[in-house]
Amino acid sequence: MPRPFLTIALASLLLVPSFVPNFAAAVDSSLDAYVGQQPEALLKAKPEFAKAYRSAVGELDFPAWTQRLAAGKRAERVDINGTGYILTSACSSAGCLDEHLYILFDPQSGRASGLFYLPPASDNPGDTRTAFSRWYGMPADKATAQAIGAFLLERAATDAQTLANPVKQ
Sign for the CA dihedral angle at 89, 92, 95, 96 comes to negative
- Residues in CB range of 132: below 8 A, 6 or more apart: 118
Domains delineated in the chain: 33-164 (3.40.1420.10)
pLDDT digits (tens, 9 = 90+) for 112-154: 999 998 887 766 767 777 778 899 999 999 999 999 999 999 9
pLDDT digits (tens, 9 = 90+) for 68-109: 887 888 999 999 999 999 999 998 877 777 888 999 999 999
Contact 75, 33 (CB under 8 A): no
Burial pattern 59-80, b for ≥16 Cβ within 10 A else e, equals: eeeeeebbeebebbbebeeeeb
Strands 83-91 and 100-106: antiparallel
